[in-house]
Chain A
Amino acid sequence: QSVLTQPPSVSAAPGQKVTISCSASSSIMGDNFVSWYQQLPGTAPKLLIYDNNKRPSGIPDRFSGSKSGTSATLGITGLQTGDEADYYCGTWDSNLSSWVFGGGTKLTVL
């Protein structure tokens, strides 16, 4: 069981907005940045959000990130069928001295 907890799945209709949560079991998020990764079916993960809320070049502003206390949230607006993927949060766990990922959330665009 990951120290970062994500909902197994979320769904929404095209054009709608969805949020994916990432909750820490301890204070690991207090000092460390959270990043988010998108894994389209059959492909490698891709960096989507870093430093809690920054987008790499080429990532549309439909994707956003935030962090408060021991929780982080990924938001996606204007959902498209091409957004159907698995999404993972990740951060450095200072207690474990280990990088950790959340269990992943499968997004379905209905």
Chain B
Amino acid sequence: QVQLQESGPGLVKPSGTLSLNCSVSGGPFNFYYWSWIRQPPGKGLEWIAYISYSGTSNYNPSLRSRAAISVDTSKNQFSLRLNSVTAADTAFYYCARLAHGRHDIWGQGTLATVSS
């Protein structure tokens, strides 16, 4: 079955850039949209952005100025870069498949901590 796996550094310095990758396996990569969603420890979910296999993207207005999502169809991967990070960006970051208006498959999540 389709599986998503996040990867990236667990620790990022303040004002630095958070970079995350999501690898998709076990199913088709094309024909879907792919999202990044985050969750600060003990808090709720916040959608960050989505991208299609062809590169069409959309962002949460509150993060649009700092976030960049990209896709590499040759590797069945998509990525997130979030710049100028602060402690408020410390969160579990999940990648998920956005299919027909719902996030139907999620990765296990990766914790990114912003600290010096």
Which residues of A line the B interface, CB within 8 A?
Answer: 2, 32-33, 35, 37, 43-47, 50-51, 56, 88, 90, 92, 96-104
> What is the interface residue range for chain B against chain A?
20 to 34
B103: interface (CB < 8 Å):
yes
- A33→B44 contact, CB < 8 A: no
A-B contact pairs, 25 of them (CB 8 A): A2-B44, A33-B101, A33-B102, A35-B101, A43-B108, A44-B94, A45-B45, A46-B106, A47-B102, A47-B103, A47-B106, A50-B100, A50-B101, A51-B101, A51-B102, A88-B44, A90-B45, A92-B101, A96-B61, A98-B58, A100-B47, A101-B46, A101-B47, A102-B44, A104-B44
For B45, the chain A residues whose CB sits under 8 A away are 37, 45, 88, 90, 101, 104
